[in-house]
């Protein structure tokens, strides 16, 4: 009887987080292999594509700066359009990185270890794209410093701190700084290991400079562990505040479709939803081509799908509540937005794209098949990225284009500059990401080594056998629980 | 001239155990080096409690105070902005930026406090790097160092390291 119970438990054990018999040496080799090998053709081709798109971005930025934002499709009443959609979309994508690196660390979710570096890099690059849009949207960014930062100019004018747009400036710049420093602190031990395993003098010097002379001293680790944990603890409320403040850009106005109290939680959930979709979109091909399947296992992908399903359900609840509140308020302008403009107006196709991608698609992750089939994961995550972009399109453009007075209504159409800015930032993001994959460890090697050690140690702690005996797979898995 | 006796261990537990025994045996100037934080090394080396949280708290409180005072002084003292006759000093509307400034200063003080203050980095030279073999400290081996000025003590220390199971023992001298 007891034996069957034990067998039953064995079957319920989740698969190992680090697969195969790994030690520090093999982890060093396999995780950093992509850095040391010569660049592959596929990587070069993608980089070329990314650089071409970055060129397009530069052209679109140059046109915007030279001629002004009249080159965009924005009009009255649609004063905010692609610029703000793209800003919210990119910053939302960034949030998954912080969730993975900070919140999952505090919750001691060990599966985060393999993907946190990757996701943090994604955060940084996404926030860089996001930051571009409001700056360009000011029209004359070289003047924007007077109203965006409390800079003591001879004009003696200070920013208006009661505006949510100012809160945004502080939130996004704090978020970027925190993400950058958190990422860099995590990188230092790995840069030191790259310095020490490099074979060429040039690489040794380059990685040596960025490793700052780290020698892995116990006296440093002692402070490092606490610094890392505190940064995670600070990043957690920060990430919630950032998207809350982004949602206040809308919710504090009186426009129907924007003026809702549910915006902060619904925006935060949407941000995490889209961010996890982006992590999956990137990691599914990366783990294959960079041979990282032993540390980014199906168990990791499954866990990410579950987070997507959960946040997707919160987002769906947000949609339902928006519609309910519009109906329950009895306000005709509210009802007009939610029951006429969005589902039956000229942008209805965008509304149904949003609903299909964000509400219907994630439901496949209820099934084990959806969470384990690599194509279901990848295509699903791509669709969610698209859906989340259209969500912001509907919130911004659809709400604005038919506001209170019918004589004020107008359609919005993007220009080539708008489209190039969107496509260009996607390519610029891709370029930065490809460079990151090639030159920096995409997986937190030192943290994986620690996890691997804990797995073995955890086993040794409960073992009745001699520790010298090699472990077999089942035992290793048991220790991960 | 500073000398460092370095011992390499291949297992983390052996390294922690050796560090503990060396400290208990009265060896001073000890440090350990590893690719990832070692469990139990803080106790083995009897390291005092880290002051990073204190630095973080100070930075956070100063940042939040500074952020609040900045908004109050700029918008209602130095240049009073009157919008629809609302009070120029709005407590609630000051909260988001106060929070962000608190987090920003806390993060900056943790990061730069750790790097410059607690780690003493960046540094271009440390005697332990005199040993080419020491490269493994960031890869897959665990090292202990004992610092001494006394040339006579070196032989004795090397013997102790070997007795504790170090499979490589090096002595490096600081180059001037």
Query: So what's the pLDDT on residue A9?
Result: 54
Residue B90: both structure tokens together = 């709005």
Do β-strands B168-173 and B30-33 pair in parallel, antiparallel, or remain unpaired?
Answer: unpaired
Domain architecture of chain B: domains with CATH: 3-49+126-173 (3.30.70), 52-118 (no CATH)
Mean pLDDT calculated for residue range B143-155? 88
Residue A353: both structure tokens together = 């794209």
Q: Which residue has the higher pLDDT, A6 or A30?
A: A30
Identify the band that residue A468 occupies on the pLDDT scale cut at 50, 70 and 90. very low
Closest chain A residue to B89, measured at CA: A162
d(CA A432, CA A35): 15
Mean pLDDT calculated for residue range B113-129? 90
pLDDT digits (tens, 9 = 90+) for B17-43: 999 999 998 888 899 999 999 989 999
Q: Is the dihedral of CA A112, A118, A120, A126 positive or negative?
A: negative
A222 contacts on B by Cβ (under 8 Å): 37, 41-42, 47, 50
Mean pLDDT calculated for residue range A448-475? 56
- For chain A, say whether B90 makes contact (Cβ under 8 Å): yes
Query: Residue A476: is its pLDDT beyond 50?
Result: no
Query: So what's the pLDDT on residue A229?
Result: 92
Lowest mean pLDDT among A317-331, A370-384, A390-404, B137-151: B137-151
Query: So what's the pLDDT on residue A101?
Result: 85
How close A212 comes to chain B (CA, Å)?
4
Residue B9: both structure tokens together = 């261990």
Residue A73: both structure tokens together = 């499709």
Whole-prediction pTM value? 0.90
A95: nearest Cα among A225, A279, A253: A279
B24-83 residues touching A, CB cutoff 8 A: 31-39, 41-42, 45, 47, 50, 52-53, 56, 60, 70-71, 74-75, 78-79, 81, 83
pLDDT digits (tens, 9 = 90+) for B55-95: 999 999 999 999 999 999 998 898 888 888 888 898 999 99
Question: Are residues A311 and A283 in contact, defined by beta-carbon separation less than 8 angstroms?
Answer: no
Mean pLDDT calculated for residue range A46-58? 96
Per-domain residue ranges for chain A?
Answer: 24-452
Query: What does residue A352 show for φ and ψ, rounded to 5 degrees?
Result: -75, -30
Query: So what's the pLDDT on residue A13?
Result: 64
Nearest to B35 among A234, A237, A446 (CB): A446
Nearest to A449 among B36, B99, B129 (CB): B36
Average pLDDT, chain A: 88
Is there a contact between A231 and B100 if contact means CB atoms under 8 Å apart? no
Query: So what's the pLDDT on residue A481?
Result: 38
B61 contacts on A by Cβ (under 8 Å): none
ipTM (interface pTM): 0.94
pLDDT digits (tens, 9 = 90+) for A148-204: 888 887 777 888 898 899 999 999 999 999 999 999 999 999 999 999 988 899 999
Is there a contact between B138 and A192 if contact means CB atoms under 8 Å apart? yes
Share of chain A above pLDDT 70, in %: 92
Share of chain B above pLDDT 90, in %: 54
Query: Residue A445: is its pLDDT beyond 70?
Result: yes
d(CA A251, CA A260): 6
Query: Residue B151: is its pLDDT beyond 90?
Result: no
Query: So what's the pLDDT on residue B118?
Result: 92
In sequence order, the β-bridge partners of residue B8 are: B143, B168
d(CA A415, CA A91): 23
**Distances in Å between the alpha carbon of A137 and those of A70, A85, A106, A391, A411?**
10, 12, 37, 20, 20
Mean pLDDT calculated for residue range A253-263? 91
Identify the band that residue B104 occupies on the pLDDT scale cut at 50, 70 and 90. very high
How close B172 comes to chain A (CA, Å)?
15
d(CA A307, CA A74): 36
How close A456 comes to chain B (CA, Å)?
12
Query: So what's the pLDDT on residue A458?
Result: 60
Question: Are residues A69 and A139 in contact, defined by beta-carbon separation less than 8 angstroms?
Answer: yes
The number of angstroms, rounded, from the C-alpha of A69 to the middle of its chain's C-alpha atoms is 28
Is there a contact between B53 and A230 if contact means CB atoms under 8 Å apart? yes
Query: Residue A466: is its pLDDT beyond 70?
Result: no
Mean pLDDT calculated for residue range A203-215? 93
Q: Which residue has the higher pLDDT, A258 or A26?
A: A258
DSSP state of B119: S
Query: So what's the pLDDT on residue A157?
Result: 80
How close B76 comes to chain A (CA, Å)?
10
Identify the band that residue B121 occupies on the pLDDT scale cut at 50, 70 and 90. confident
Cis peptide before A301 (omega within 30 of 0): no
Helix/strand number for chain A, H first, E second: 21, 0
Query: Residue A23: is its pLDDT beyond 90?
Result: no
Query: Residue A472: is its pLDDT beyond 50?
Result: no
Chains A & B: contacts with CB separation below 8 Å:
186
Is there a contact between A213 and B110 if contact means CB atoms under 8 Å apart? no
Nearest to B100 among A23, A174, A185 (CB): A174
What SS3 string covers B5-37? EEEEECCHHHHHHHHHHHHHCCCCCEEEECCCC
């Amino acid at each position: 009887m007891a034996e069957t119970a034990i067998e039953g438990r064995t079957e319920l054990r989740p698969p190992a987080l680090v697969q195969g018999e790994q030690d520090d040496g093999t982890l060093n080799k396999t995780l950093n292999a992509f850095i040391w090998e010569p660049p592959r053709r596929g990587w070069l081709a993608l980089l070329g594509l990314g650089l071409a798109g970055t060129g397009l971005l530069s052209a679109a930025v140059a046109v915007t700066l030279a001629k002004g934002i009249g080159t965009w499709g924005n009009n009255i009443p649609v004063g905010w359009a692609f610029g703000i959609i793209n800003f919210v979309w990119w910053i939302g994508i960034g949030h998954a990185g912080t969730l993975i690196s900070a919140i999952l660390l505090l919750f001691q979710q060990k599966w985060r270890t393999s993907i946190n570096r990757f996701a943090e890099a994604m955060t940084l690059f996404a926030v860089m794209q996001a930051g571009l849009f409001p700056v360009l949207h000011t029209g004359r960014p070289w003047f924007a410093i007077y109203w965006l930062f409390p800079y003591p100019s001879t004009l003696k004018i200070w920013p208006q701190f009661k505006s949510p747009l100012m809160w945004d400036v502080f939130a996004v710049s704090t978020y970027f700084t925190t993400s950058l420093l958190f990422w860099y602190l995590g990188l230092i031990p790995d840069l030191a290991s790259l310095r020490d395993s490099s074979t060429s003098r040039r690489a040794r010097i380059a990685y040596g400079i960025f490793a700052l002379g780290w020698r892995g001293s116990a006296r440093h680790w002692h402070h490092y562990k606490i610094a890392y944990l505190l940064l995670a603890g600070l990043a957690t409320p920060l990430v919630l505040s950032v998207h809350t403040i982004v949602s206040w850009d809308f919710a504090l106005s009186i426009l129907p479709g924007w003026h809702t109290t549910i915006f902060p939680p619904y925006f935060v959930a949407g941000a995490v939803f889209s961010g996890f979709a982006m992590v999956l979109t990137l990691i599914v091909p990366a783990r294959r081509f960079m041979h990282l399947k032993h540390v980014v296992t199906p168990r990791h992908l499954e866990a990410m799908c579950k987070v997507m399903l959960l946040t997707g359900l919160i987002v769906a609840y947000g949609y339902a509540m928006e519609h309910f509140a519009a109906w329950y308020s009895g306000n005709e302008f509210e009802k007009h937005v939610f029951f006429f403009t969005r589902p039956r107006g000229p942008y209805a196709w965008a509304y149904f794209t949003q609903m299909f991608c964000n509400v219907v698609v994630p439901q496949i992750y209820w099934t084990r098949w959806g969470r384990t089939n690599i194509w279901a994961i990848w295509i699903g995550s791509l669709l969610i990225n698209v859906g989340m972009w259209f969500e912001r399109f509907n919130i911004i453009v659809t709400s604005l284009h038919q506001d209170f007075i019918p004589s004020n209504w107008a359609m919005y159409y993007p220009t080539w500059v708008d489209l190039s800015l969107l496509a260009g930032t996607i390519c610029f993001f891709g370029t930065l990401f490809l460079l990151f994959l090639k030159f920096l460890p995409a997986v937190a090697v030192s943290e994986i080594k620690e996890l691997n050690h804990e797995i073995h140690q955890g086993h040794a702690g409960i073992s009745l056998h001699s520790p010298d005996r090699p472990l077999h797979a089942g035992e290793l898995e048991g220790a991960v629980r | 001239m500073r000398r460092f006796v370095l011992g390499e261990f291949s297992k983390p537990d052996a390294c922690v155990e050796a560090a503990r025994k060396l400290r208990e045996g009265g060896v001073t100037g000890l440090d350990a080096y590893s690719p990832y934080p070692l469990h139990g090394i803080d106790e083995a080396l009897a390291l005092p409690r880290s002051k990073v949280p204190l630095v973080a708290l100070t930075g956070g409180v100063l940042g939040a105070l500074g952020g609040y005072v900045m908004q109050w002084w700029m918008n209602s003292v130095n240049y009073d902005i009157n919008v629809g006759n609302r009070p120029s000093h709005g407590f609630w509307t000051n909260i988001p930026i106060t929070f962000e400034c608190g987090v920003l200063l806390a993060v900056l003080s943790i990061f730069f406090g750790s790097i410059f203050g607690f780690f003493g980095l960046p540094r271009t030279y440390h005697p332990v790097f005199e040993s080419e073999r020491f490269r493994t400290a960031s890869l897959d081996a665990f090292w202990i160092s004992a610092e001494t000025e006394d040339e006579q003590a070196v032989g004795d220390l090397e013997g102790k390291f070997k007795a504790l199971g170090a499979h490589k023992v090096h002595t490096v001298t600081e180059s001037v």
